[in-house]
Amino acid sequence: MTNTPGKIFNKVHFVEVDEDMQHQRIDNFLFHYFHKVPKTHVYKIIRKGEVRVNKKRIKPVYKLACGDLIRIPPIQTTEKTKHTPSTSLVKLIENSILFENNELLVVNKPSGLAVHGGSGINHGLIETLRFMFPDQKFLELVHRLDRDTSGCILIAKQRKALLSLHKQLRERESDKRYLALVCGTWNKGDKLVEAPLLKNTLKSGERMVRVDSSGKDCKSRFIVRTNYSDYCLFEIKIETGRTHQIRVHAQYLKHPIAGDSKYGSFACNQRLKAKGLNRLFLHASQITINMSFSNMGKQTFKAPLPESLEQVLKNIALD
Protein backbone atom coordinates (compact mmCIF):
# COMPACT_ATOMS: atom_id res chain seq x y z
CA MET A 1 0.00 0.00 0.00
CA THR A 2 1.42 3.38 -0.90
CA ASN A 3 0.63 6.91 0.13
CA THR A 4 -1.56 9.13 -2.01
CA PRO A 5 -1.01 12.89 -1.51
CA GLY A 6 -3.84 14.31 0.55
CA LYS A 7 -5.19 10.90 1.64
CA ILE A 8 -6.20 10.49 5.28
CA PHE A 9 -4.95 7.27 6.89
CA ASN A 10 -7.57 6.73 9.59
CA LYS A 11 -6.19 3.38 10.69
CA VAL A 12 -2.86 1.61 11.07
CA HIS A 13 -1.48 0.02 7.93
CA PHE A 14 1.73 -1.79 7.01
CA VAL A 15 4.35 -1.49 4.27
CA GLU A 16 6.74 -4.31 3.42
CA VAL A 17 10.21 -3.20 2.32
CA ASP A 18 11.27 -4.42 -1.12
CA GLU A 19 14.68 -4.20 -2.82
CA ASP A 20 14.00 -0.67 -4.10
CA MET A 21 13.31 0.61 -0.59
CA GLN A 22 16.12 -1.13 1.31
CA HIS A 23 19.34 0.49 2.61
CA GLN A 24 17.72 3.88 3.26
CA ARG A 25 17.08 5.38 6.69
CA ILE A 26 13.57 5.10 8.07
CA ASP A 27 13.27 8.90 8.47
CA ASN A 28 14.22 9.48 4.81
CA PHE A 29 11.73 6.81 3.75
CA LEU A 30 8.96 8.55 5.68
CA PHE A 31 9.87 11.99 4.30
CA HIS A 32 9.23 10.64 0.79
CA TYR A 33 6.25 8.56 1.85
CA PHE A 34 4.46 11.55 3.36
CA HIS A 35 5.40 14.32 0.94
CA LYS A 36 3.54 17.07 2.82
CA VAL A 37 3.98 16.06 6.47
CA PRO A 38 6.44 18.30 8.37
CA LYS A 39 9.74 16.61 9.25
CA THR A 40 9.20 17.51 12.91
CA HIS A 41 6.01 15.43 12.92
CA VAL A 42 7.80 12.48 11.28
CA TYR A 43 10.46 12.53 14.01
CA LYS A 44 7.73 12.81 16.64
CA ILE A 45 5.87 9.67 15.54
CA ILE A 46 9.19 7.77 15.37
CA ARG A 47 10.20 8.98 18.86
CA LYS A 48 6.82 8.05 20.34
CA GLY A 49 7.07 4.54 18.87
CA GLU A 50 4.08 4.97 16.58
CA VAL A 51 6.26 3.88 13.66
CA ARG A 52 7.65 0.40 14.21
CA VAL A 53 9.70 -2.01 12.14
CA ASN A 54 9.11 -5.73 12.66
CA LYS A 55 7.01 -4.82 15.75
CA LYS A 56 9.98 -3.04 17.38
CA ARG A 57 10.65 0.61 18.15
CA ILE A 58 13.39 2.09 15.99
CA LYS A 59 15.51 5.24 15.82
CA PRO A 60 15.48 7.68 12.86
CA VAL A 61 18.87 6.34 11.68
CA TYR A 62 17.60 2.76 11.35
CA LYS A 63 18.39 1.42 7.85
CA LEU A 64 15.67 -0.59 6.18
CA ALA A 65 16.30 -4.15 5.02
CA CYS A 66 14.43 -6.12 2.39
CA GLY A 67 11.49 -7.89 4.03
CA ASP A 68 11.13 -5.45 6.94
CA LEU A 69 7.52 -4.73 7.87
CA ILE A 70 6.89 -1.05 8.67
CA ARG A 71 3.95 -0.06 10.84
CA ILE A 72 2.48 3.26 9.66
CA PRO A 73 0.21 5.03 12.18
CA PRO A 74 -2.94 7.02 11.35
CA ILE A 75 -1.82 10.33 9.89
CA GLN A 76 -3.10 13.13 7.68
CA THR A 77 -1.01 14.94 5.10
CA THR A 78 -1.29 18.72 4.87
CA GLU A 79 -1.88 18.73 1.14
CA LYS A 80 -5.57 19.10 0.25
CA THR A 81 -7.22 16.65 -2.09
CA LYS A 82 -8.96 19.41 -4.03
CA HIS A 83 -5.63 20.50 -5.52
CA THR A 84 -5.18 18.30 -8.56
CA PRO A 85 -3.26 19.11 -11.75
CA SER A 86 -5.32 20.53 -14.57
CA THR A 87 -6.25 18.29 -17.48
CA SER A 88 -4.22 20.51 -19.81
CA LEU A 89 -1.10 20.19 -17.63
CA VAL A 90 -1.42 16.40 -17.47
CA LYS A 91 -1.82 16.26 -21.25
CA LEU A 92 1.19 18.52 -21.73
CA ILE A 93 3.38 16.26 -19.57
CA GLU A 94 2.07 13.12 -21.28
CA ASN A 95 3.13 14.56 -24.63
CA SER A 96 6.52 15.57 -23.21
CA ILE A 97 7.71 12.11 -22.13
CA LEU A 98 10.78 11.20 -24.20
CA PHE A 99 11.53 7.80 -22.66
CA GLU A 100 10.07 5.44 -20.10
CA ASN A 101 10.96 2.02 -18.76
CA ASN A 102 10.70 0.32 -15.36
CA GLU A 103 13.59 2.32 -13.91
CA LEU A 104 13.52 5.75 -15.53
CA LEU A 105 11.44 8.54 -17.01
CA VAL A 106 12.95 11.19 -19.29
CA VAL A 107 10.79 14.27 -19.81
CA ASN A 108 11.17 17.28 -22.09
CA LYS A 109 10.17 19.80 -19.40
CA PRO A 110 8.26 22.81 -20.74
CA SER A 111 9.51 26.30 -19.92
CA GLY A 112 7.51 27.93 -17.13
CA LEU A 113 6.90 24.69 -15.23
CA ALA A 114 8.69 24.34 -11.89
CA VAL A 115 10.21 20.94 -11.18
CA HIS A 116 8.40 20.80 -7.83
CA GLY A 117 5.69 22.71 -5.99
CA GLY A 118 6.20 25.35 -3.32
CA SER A 119 6.00 29.13 -2.88
CA GLY A 120 2.41 29.23 -4.10
CA ILE A 121 2.87 26.54 -6.76
CA ASN A 122 0.55 23.60 -6.09
CA HIS A 123 1.88 21.33 -8.80
CA GLY A 124 5.29 21.19 -10.35
CA LEU A 125 6.57 18.46 -12.63
CA ILE A 126 7.14 15.84 -9.93
CA GLU A 127 3.73 16.36 -8.28
CA THR A 128 2.04 16.07 -11.67
CA LEU A 129 3.91 12.86 -12.48
CA ARG A 130 2.96 11.36 -9.11
CA PHE A 131 -0.67 12.20 -9.90
CA MET A 132 -0.31 10.59 -13.33
CA PHE A 133 1.34 7.44 -11.92
CA PRO A 134 -0.60 6.80 -8.66
CA ASP A 135 0.56 3.18 -8.43
CA GLN A 136 4.24 4.02 -8.85
CA LYS A 137 5.80 3.46 -5.41
CA PHE A 138 8.97 5.43 -6.14
CA LEU A 139 9.22 8.55 -8.28
CA GLU A 140 11.99 11.08 -7.58
CA LEU A 141 13.76 13.89 -9.43
CA VAL A 142 17.34 12.97 -10.32
CA HIS A 143 18.35 16.60 -10.90
CA ARG A 144 16.69 19.97 -11.44
CA LEU A 145 16.15 22.60 -14.09
CA ASP A 146 15.26 26.24 -13.51
CA ARG A 147 11.57 26.97 -13.97
CA ASP A 148 12.19 28.97 -17.16
CA THR A 149 14.58 26.39 -18.65
CA SER A 150 13.10 23.72 -20.91
CA GLY A 151 14.46 20.34 -21.92
CA CYS A 152 15.70 16.96 -20.71
CA ILE A 153 15.14 16.05 -17.09
CA LEU A 154 15.49 12.64 -15.45
CA ILE A 155 13.05 11.09 -12.97
CA ALA A 156 13.98 7.83 -11.27
CA LYS A 157 11.33 5.14 -10.87
CA GLN A 158 13.52 2.93 -8.73
CA ARG A 159 15.95 3.76 -5.97
CA LYS A 160 18.82 1.86 -7.61
CA ALA A 161 18.46 4.12 -10.66
CA LEU A 162 18.46 7.24 -8.48
CA LEU A 163 21.61 6.20 -6.63
CA SER A 164 23.41 5.27 -9.86
CA LEU A 165 22.51 8.53 -11.58
CA HIS A 166 23.42 10.64 -8.55
CA LYS A 167 26.84 8.95 -8.55
CA GLN A 168 27.28 9.69 -12.26
CA LEU A 169 26.37 13.34 -11.77
CA ARG A 170 28.58 13.67 -8.69
CA GLU A 171 31.58 12.05 -10.38
CA ARG A 172 30.98 13.87 -13.68
CA GLU A 173 30.38 10.67 -15.65
CA SER A 174 27.27 12.01 -17.39
CA ASP A 175 27.22 14.48 -20.27
CA LYS A 176 24.67 17.32 -20.17
CA ARG A 177 24.32 19.72 -23.11
CA TYR A 178 22.29 22.91 -23.43
CA LEU A 179 21.45 25.31 -26.24
CA ALA A 180 21.52 29.01 -25.37
CA LEU A 181 21.17 32.17 -27.41
CA VAL A 182 23.30 34.98 -25.99
CA CYS A 183 23.27 38.71 -26.60
CA GLY A 184 26.06 40.16 -28.72
CA THR A 185 28.29 38.74 -31.44
CA TRP A 186 31.07 36.30 -30.49
CA ASN A 187 34.28 35.84 -32.49
CA LYS A 188 36.55 34.12 -29.97
CA GLY A 189 35.79 30.49 -30.77
CA ASP A 190 34.91 27.88 -28.18
CA LYS A 191 35.44 28.93 -24.56
CA LEU A 192 35.91 27.03 -21.30
CA VAL A 193 34.68 29.12 -18.37
CA GLU A 194 36.15 28.21 -14.99
CA ALA A 195 34.64 30.68 -12.55
CA PRO A 196 33.57 29.73 -8.99
CA LEU A 197 30.00 30.55 -8.04
CA LEU A 198 28.61 31.75 -4.72
CA LYS A 199 24.92 31.67 -3.80
CA ASN A 200 23.37 34.59 -1.98
CA THR A 201 19.83 35.26 -0.74
CA LEU A 202 18.62 38.86 -0.79
CA LYS A 203 16.49 40.42 1.94
CA SER A 204 13.50 40.00 -0.35
CA GLY A 205 14.14 36.25 -0.35
CA GLU A 206 15.25 36.22 -3.98
CA ARG A 207 18.12 33.83 -4.67
CA MET A 208 21.05 35.25 -6.61
CA VAL A 209 24.35 33.73 -7.71
CA ARG A 210 27.57 35.55 -8.57
CA VAL A 211 31.13 34.75 -9.57
CA ASP A 212 33.23 34.84 -6.41
CA SER A 213 36.63 33.34 -5.53
CA SER A 214 35.16 31.95 -2.30
CA GLY A 215 32.43 30.08 -4.17
CA LYS A 216 32.26 26.49 -5.44
CA ASP A 217 34.35 25.36 -8.41
CA CYS A 218 32.38 25.55 -11.62
CA LYS A 219 33.07 24.70 -15.28
CA SER A 220 31.04 25.42 -18.42
CA ARG A 221 32.25 24.82 -21.97
CA PHE A 222 30.71 27.21 -24.52
CA ILE A 223 30.78 25.74 -28.04
CA VAL A 224 29.83 28.05 -30.93
CA ARG A 225 26.98 26.75 -33.08
CA THR A 226 25.75 29.77 -35.08
CA ASN A 227 26.77 33.44 -35.16
CA TYR A 228 24.12 36.00 -36.04
CA SER A 229 24.52 39.75 -36.59
CA ASP A 230 23.79 40.63 -32.95
CA TYR A 231 23.58 37.25 -31.22
CA CYS A 232 25.29 33.87 -30.91
CA LEU A 233 23.84 30.41 -30.44
CA PHE A 234 25.99 28.25 -28.17
CA GLU A 235 25.93 24.60 -27.24
CA ILE A 236 27.04 24.46 -23.62
CA LYS A 237 28.46 21.43 -21.85
CA ILE A 238 28.41 21.75 -18.10
CA GLU A 239 31.04 19.85 -16.15
CA THR A 240 29.48 20.82 -12.82
CA GLY A 241 25.87 21.40 -11.87
CA ARG A 242 25.55 24.59 -9.83
CA THR A 243 22.50 26.79 -9.37
CA HIS A 244 22.09 29.21 -12.33
CA GLN A 245 25.51 28.09 -13.58
CA ILE A 246 25.08 28.74 -17.31
CA ARG A 247 23.20 31.99 -16.79
CA VAL A 248 25.86 33.47 -14.48
CA HIS A 249 28.77 32.23 -16.61
CA ALA A 250 27.17 33.83 -19.66
CA GLN A 251 26.80 37.07 -17.72
CA TYR A 252 30.47 36.74 -16.66
CA LEU A 253 31.44 36.59 -20.36
CA LYS A 254 29.44 39.83 -20.86
CA HIS A 255 27.16 37.91 -23.24
CA PRO A 256 24.07 37.23 -21.11
CA ILE A 257 21.47 34.72 -22.19
CA ALA A 258 18.62 36.13 -24.24
CA GLY A 259 15.42 36.58 -22.29
CA ASP A 260 17.12 36.35 -18.89
CA SER A 261 15.32 38.81 -16.61
CA LYS A 262 17.57 38.09 -13.62
CA TYR A 263 21.10 38.17 -15.07
CA GLY A 264 20.47 39.50 -18.55
CA SER A 265 20.35 42.72 -20.57
CA PHE A 266 17.07 44.63 -20.47
CA ALA A 267 17.79 46.35 -23.80
CA CYS A 268 18.65 43.07 -25.52
CA ASN A 269 15.58 41.36 -24.09
CA GLN A 270 13.36 44.19 -25.34
CA ARG A 271 14.77 43.89 -28.86
CA LEU A 272 14.18 40.16 -28.86
CA LYS A 273 10.58 40.52 -27.73
CA ALA A 274 9.95 42.07 -31.13
CA LYS A 275 11.41 38.86 -32.59
CA GLY A 276 8.96 36.72 -30.63
CA LEU A 277 11.08 35.77 -27.61
CA ASN A 278 8.95 35.69 -24.47
CA ARG A 279 11.04 33.36 -22.29
CA LEU A 280 14.59 32.46 -21.32
CA PHE A 281 16.44 31.07 -24.34
CA LEU A 282 18.01 28.15 -22.48
CA HIS A 283 17.18 24.56 -23.37
CA ALA A 284 18.58 21.28 -22.01
CA SER A 285 18.99 19.69 -25.41
CA GLN A 286 20.49 16.32 -24.50
CA ILE A 287 21.89 14.14 -21.74
CA THR A 288 24.05 11.02 -21.92
CA ILE A 289 24.01 8.57 -19.02
CA ASN A 290 25.03 5.00 -18.27
CA MET A 291 21.88 2.91 -17.83
CA SER A 292 23.65 -0.11 -16.35
CA PHE A 293 20.79 -0.31 -13.84
CA SER A 294 18.58 -1.27 -16.81
CA ASN A 295 21.27 -3.36 -18.56
CA MET A 296 21.24 -0.86 -21.44
CA GLY A 297 24.71 0.74 -21.25
CA LYS A 298 25.24 4.32 -22.37
CA GLN A 299 22.18 6.13 -23.71
CA THR A 300 21.72 9.64 -25.09
CA PHE A 301 18.35 11.35 -24.83
CA LYS A 302 17.59 14.43 -26.93
CA ALA A 303 14.88 17.04 -26.55
CA PRO A 304 14.09 19.04 -29.70
CA LEU A 305 14.25 22.82 -29.45
CA PRO A 306 10.71 24.18 -28.88
CA GLU A 307 9.03 25.59 -31.98
CA SER A 308 8.83 29.03 -30.37
CA LEU A 309 12.62 29.15 -30.01
CA GLU A 310 13.14 27.79 -33.53
CA GLN A 311 10.96 30.64 -34.80
CA VAL A 312 13.06 33.22 -32.91
CA LEU A 313 16.20 31.89 -34.62
CA LYS A 314 14.49 32.20 -37.99
CA ASN A 315 13.44 35.75 -37.21
CA ILE A 316 16.90 36.95 -36.16
CA ALA A 317 18.46 35.22 -39.18
CA LEU A 318 16.51 37.62 -41.38
CA ASP A 319 18.34 40.68 -39.99
Residue pLDDT, tens place only, 70-110? 999 987 655 444 468 899 999 999 999 999 999 999 999 99
Cα–chain center distance at 22: 24
Cα 280 to Cα 277: distance, rounded to the nearest angstrom: 8
Cα 54 to Cα 251: distance, rounded to the nearest angstrom: 55
Instruction: Report, as residue numbers or ranges, the catalytic residues.
Output: 146
Closest C-alpha to 242, from 289, 297, 196, 190: 196
Our CA angle for 136, 140, 141, nearest 5°, is 140
Domain with CATH 3.30.70 in the chain: 87-157
Cα 287 to Cα 143: distance, rounded to the nearest angstrom: 12
CATH of 8-76, one of 3.40.640.10, 3.10.290.10, 3.40.30.10, 3.40.50.620: 3.10.290.10
Number of H helices, E strands in the chain: 8, 18
Q: Which residues of the chain have pLDDT under 50?
A: 1-8, 79-82
User: Between helices 125-132 and 87-94, what is the axis angle to 10°?
Assistant: 90
Closest C-alpha to 147, from 116, 110, 113, 181: 113
Specify the 3-state DSSP secondary structure of 181: strand
Cα–chain center distance at 209: 18
What's the predicted TM-score (pTM) here?
A: 0.79
**pLDDT at residue 311 in the model:** 97
| Helix (H) / strand (E) containing 180 | strand 175-183
Q: Which amino acid is it at 181? A: L
**pLDDT at residue 85 in the model:** 87
In the chain, where does DSSP find H-type helix?
26-33, 39-47, 87-94, 125-132, 159-170, 245-252, 266-273, 307-317
Q: Rg of the chain over CA atoms, in angstroms?
A: 22
CB 183 within 8 A of CB 255: yes
Q: What is the CATH number of domain 165-317?
A: 3.30.2350.10
Specify the 3-state DSSP secondary structure of 272: helix
**pLDDT at residue 37 in the model:** 77
* Domain range 87-157, CATH architecture: 2-Layer Sandwich (3.30)
In 147-262, where does DSSP find H-type helix?
159-170, 245-252
Domain with CATH 3.10.290.10 in the chain: 8-76
Q: Which amino acid is it at 134? A: P
Specify the 3-state DSSP secondary structure of 191: strand
Specify the 3-state DSSP secondary structure of 239: coil
